[in-house]
Amino acid sequence: MRNHEEDTQDPLQMIHETIVCDERDWAEDERSAVIFAIVCGWREMLPQVADRFGWSEEHIARLSRLRAKFIKLCPVAGDD
């Protein structure tokens, strides 16, 4: 990941870097958890987060597709 202090001109990269550098609990509320799922991905924590919010398999699949699209638009997001 690039240094958060660098002057990026890519707004999606800046969003990604801001979320990655934020130490708050992104699983605290469902809206934040969805944003984190798309921008950063939950990886091995996905089952616990999905269970916490009652996400269906269809919802999880949709978030996965949105994550893949985000990575295409912001490749650095796939480097986490």
Give residue-wise pLDDT tens across range 33-72: 999 999 999 999 999 999 999 999 999 999 999 999 999 9
Q: Answer positive or negative: Cα dihedral of 17, 80, 65, 46.
A: negative
CA distance 55 to 74: 25
Would residue 75 count as lying in a domain? yes
**54 within a domain of the structure (yes/no):** yes
Task: Answer yes or no: is pLDDT of 13 > 90.
Answer: yes
Domain of residue 44: give its range. 11-79
* Domain count across the chain: 1
Q: Establish if 2 belongs to a structural domain.
A: no
Residue 1: pLDDT band by 50, 70, 90 thresholds?
very low
Q: Report the predicted TM-score, pTM, of the whole model to 2 decimal places.
A: 0.87
* Domain assignment of residue 5, yes or no: no
Whether residue 73 is contained in a domain is answered as: yes
Asked, for residue 1, whether it belongs to a domain, the answer is: no
Q: How does pLDDT run across 18-43, given as a tens digit for each residue?
A: 999 999 999 999 999 999 999 999 99
- For the chain, the three-class secondary structure string (H helix, E strand, C coil) is CCCCCCCCCCHHHHHHHHHHHCCCCCCCCHHHHHHHHHHCCCHHHHHHHHHHHCCCHHHHHHHHHHHHHHHHHCHHHHHC
Q: Is residue 35 part of a domain?
A: yes
